[in-house]
């Protein structure tokens, strides 16, 4: 079989217009040979999950810099479960305080990266996790 390409969706949810980080990560993942689908800004959790399922991605990466992460992520996990798609690896990036990270991890978030992260770390994590 030919090499299987990792498919990743990079998404921004809600009233959060800061997408520089999401775009930097999207480009880094592309340059690592992955197929990256970027949804653009101002999506609802429902839209992001629908898109992720249509695109059948291995990884859903959500960037959150607005402080709404404790609303966004639980919604995403619920929607994924509704569609029987809870095998999609969900990761996050942006600003999330340590306590919240722990809570989200318990809900099923695989990993979270904050400012200053090396894109190489994200790439190797995803490559290993999707294997």
Partner 1 sequence: MSDLVARVRSGEIRAAGRLISLIDRGDPTAEIILPLIYPHTGQAFRMGITGPPGAGKSTLICALAREYLEVGRTVGIVAVDITSPFTGGALLGDRIRMQDLTRDDRVFIRSIGNKGRPGGLSRSVQDSMRVLEAMGKDVVIVETAGVGQTDVDVVDTVDVVVLVTVPEAGDEVQALKAGILEAADIIVLNKVDRPESDGLGSELQELVAGCTNEAGWEVPVIRTVAKTGKGVEELFNSLDAFENWLNEDDRLPARRKLQVEKELKKLVRQGMIDALDHTLAKTDVQDSANRVVAGEVDLYRAVNDLVKGLAVSRKGDATPLPL
- Footprint of partner 1 (CB under 8 A): 1-2, 4-5, 7, 26-27, 29-40, 42-44, 47, 50-51, 53-56, 83-85
* C-alpha 120: how far from chain center: 16
Q: Which is nearer to partner 1, 43 or 64 (CB)?
A: 43
Shortest Cβ 50–partner 1 spacing (Å) = 6
Burial-class residue 25 by CB neighbours within 10 Å (0-12, 13-18, 19+): buried
For residues 24 and 21, give the distance between their C-alpha atoms in angstroms, rounded to a whole number. 5
Q: How many CA atoms lie within 13 A of 16 on its CB side?
A: 23
Residue located via tokens 């690896």: 89
For residues 104 and 106, give the distance between their C-alpha atoms in angstroms, rounded to a whole number. 5
Q: Which is nearer to partner 1, 15 or 106 (CB)?
A: 15
Q: Which is nearer to partner 1, 48 or 104 (CB)?
A: 48
Shortest Cβ 124–partner 1 spacing (Å) = 15
Shortest Cβ 87–partner 1 spacing (Å) = 10
Q: Which is nearer to partner 1, 86 or 102 (CB)?
A: 86
Shortest Cβ 7–partner 1 spacing (Å) = 8
């Amino acid at each position: 079989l030919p090499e299987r390409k990792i498919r990743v969706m990079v998404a921004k949810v809600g009233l959060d217009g800061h997408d520089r980080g999401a775009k930097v990560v999207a480009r880094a993942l592309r340059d690592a040979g992955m197929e990256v689908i970027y949804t653009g800004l101002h999506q609802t959790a429902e839209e992001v999950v629908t898109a992720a399922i249509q695109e059948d991605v291995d990884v859903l990466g959500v960037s959150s810099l607005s402080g709404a992460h404790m609303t966004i992520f639980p919604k995403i996990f619920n929607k994924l479960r509704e569609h029987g798609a809870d095998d999609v690896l969900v990761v996050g990036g942006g600003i999330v305080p340590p306590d919240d990270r722990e809570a989200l991890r318990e809900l099923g978030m695989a990993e979270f990266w904050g400012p200053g992260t090396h894109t190489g770390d994200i790439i190797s994590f995803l490559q290993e996790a999707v294997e």
